[in-house]
Amino acid sequence: MQTITVTTTPFMDQRPGTSGLRKRVTQFQQPHYLENFVQAIFDTKNDLNGGTLVVGGDGRYYNREAIQIIIRMAAANGVKRLLVGKGGILSTPAVSAIIRKYHTNGGIILSASHNPGGPDGDFGIKFNGDNGGPATEQVTEAIYARSKTVNRYLTTHAAAINLDHIGHSHIGDMAIEVIDPVHDYAELMQTIFDFDAIRHLIVDNGFRLCFDAMHAVTGPYAIDILEHRLGAPAGSVINSTPLEDFGGGHPDPNLVYAKTLVEAIFGNNPPDFGAASDGDGDRNMILGAHFFVTPSDSLAIMAANAHLIPGYASGLKGVARSMPTSCAVDRVASELRIPWYETPTGWKFFGNLLDSNQATLCGEESFGTSSAHVREKDGLWAVLFWLNILAARRTSVATIVKEHWQRFGRNFYTRHDYEAVDATAANELMHHVEQQLPALIGKELNGIMVSAADNFSYLDPVDKSCSERQGLRVIFSDGSRIIFRLSGTGTVGATLRIYIEKYESDSSRHHEDTQQILQPLIDTALTLSQLRQRIGREQPDVIT
């Protein structure tokens, strides 16, 4: 094999966000753009030279071409062994599971998660470390720093690897294994959940489910596990074929974009259980007949029912949630007498807690939940967790949620997303809110006193690193919260997210409409931010 050194110049826009580097496909297709960032990874992570690397993606447009580029560069940069999913497919949680099972030096995941795909859509790349989790801030900052100075990358003229057949091949001294993308992940799920009980629920009790793979990566995983291993009838998994453009849809599992599933679950003769996952398989949405489970409630209910799951029957070490996620799980942790942690948004912040055995379950309000079995969000795992609860309790999704509220109280919660906002206007809005925070403490807004107001910072209890400026919080004396945050997952403009929460212990009010209950706080948030005047939007793009 002849190593080729290609001269290049840096791109100055390659700083990874909360989930790696995400840009338009057309930006990644620029000469040297992908190669520069990949070389920055190899130059930063020296243990990949002579090590083992996992590579896969969600099947979106440009996935196959990017994998071939990475394979050639990996060989030229001294990688000894490379594992790649058949067809270039590997879900994000599957990559994490494979890294951990085979003790590799890390993995490269090609995905823009829930963002649209296709030639005019988005593409993304991120590096996961040897614990299976997203690279730490220190690593991503080092990769970014190298991307700004990289002046050459290494590659070779090797022929393209056939990704459509499981097998072994070589480029120079690098061994390449095209592997079954589902097998290792499915086997891991069987060690956690009671597949016999779930199968009995589905096969022997007429339990009907519908899983929407949204033409994204979880289709093959859901077919194998839900239909083949657990006995759900053929067709229970819909939109199961991964497509480069996700069938023209938006692979985000929420009430707006999972339209086919939502129409079925809220229609006549609905299935007993509905669920969806996103582009790369790390997010989940849980539904019952005519009933939506918020991600925050889902995390809390999982924690309260974990003793029913074989993999967690011995107890939870702790729970962790991102700061914007509702405080519902905190109440469960208090009753269970286990620690709970509040971290910034971004799954990488859970890594130290999981690695040090201080937390077992973790969750984010943005439809992400998982546990110590991997170091990523895991959409299908969450679905199996709920199916195992349903198999053990033999009641409906709605009843489980309502009984949880009866026991712990209800955290009314909503998130309003304003997408593709002018970045300058969004940053000015955040600055306007932040300037007001010190004066709000001790002041009454809508008759409730503000007890705290700040820009959230996090001190990692394990490595003592500090992450500052993670979101603006207004916290009221009754526990209600208003949070403003700019998301790092979009590729056009800015995504402004406003999170509203109010706790209600009175069970006679638990049935009331979330938006109506929260409207006074929503109005307060709009007034504080001058949102309509500053960004020119009357309504959010998505409400969850």
String of DSSP letters for 356-417: TTS-SEEEETTTEEEETTSSS--HHHHHHHHHHHHHHH-S-HHHHHHHHHHHH-EEEEEEEE
The pLDDT assigned to 262 comes to 96
CATH entry 3.40.120.10 includes domain 4-180: yes
Look up tokens 């206007």; give the residue. 425
pLDDT under 50: residue ranges of the chain: none
- 113 carries an active-site annotation: yes
The pLDDT assigned to 542 comes to 83
The pLDDT assigned to 491 comes to 58
Distance between CA atoms of residues 283 and 134, nearest Å: 15
Strands (E), 33-80: 52-57
The pLDDT assigned to 137 comes to 87
Consecutive H or E run containing 143: helix 137-147
Distance between CA atoms of residues 90 and 158, nearest Å: 23
* 3-state SS, one letter per residue, for 104-122: CCCEEEECCCCCCCCCCCE
Coil, strand, or helix at residue 168?
Answer: strand
The pLDDT assigned to 177 comes to 98
Contact 385, 309 (CB under 8 A): yes
Name the region of 21 (left: φ>0; alpha: ψ -120 to 50; beta: rest): beta
Query: pLDDT tens, 262-313?
Result: 999 999 999 999 999 999 999 999 999 999 999 999 999 999 999 999 999 9
DSSP bridge partners of 52? 81
Q: Which amino acid is at 503?
A: Y
Same fold, 4-180 and 185-408: yes
Consecutive H or E run containing 211: strand 209-212
Contact 84, 73 (CB under 8 A): no
The pLDDT assigned to 490 comes to 55
The CATH code that applies to domain 410-543 is 3.30.310.50
Which is the catalytic residue, given 113, 147, 240, 529?
Answer: 113
Distance between CA atoms of residues 336 and 318, nearest Å: 9
Per-domain residue ranges for the chain? 4-180, 185-408, 410-543
Q: Among 216, 226, 237, 220, which residue's Cα sits nearest to residue 190?
A: 226
Look at the pTM and tell me if it is higher than 0.85.
yes
DSSP symbol at 341: E
Exposure string for 279-308, b = 16+ CB within 10 A, e = fewer: bbbbbbbbbbbebbbbbbbbbbbbbbbbeb
Q: In what order do the strands lie in the sheet with 209-212?
A: 237-238, 209-212, 273-277, 284-288, 291-293
CATH topology of domain 185-408: Alpha-D-Glucose-1,6-Bisphosphate; Chain A, domain 3 (3.40.120)
Exposure string for 202-240, b = 16+ CB within 10 A, e = fewer: beeeebbbbbbbbbbbbbbbbbbbbbeebbbeeebbbbb
Distance between CA atoms of residues 357 and 352, nearest Å: 8
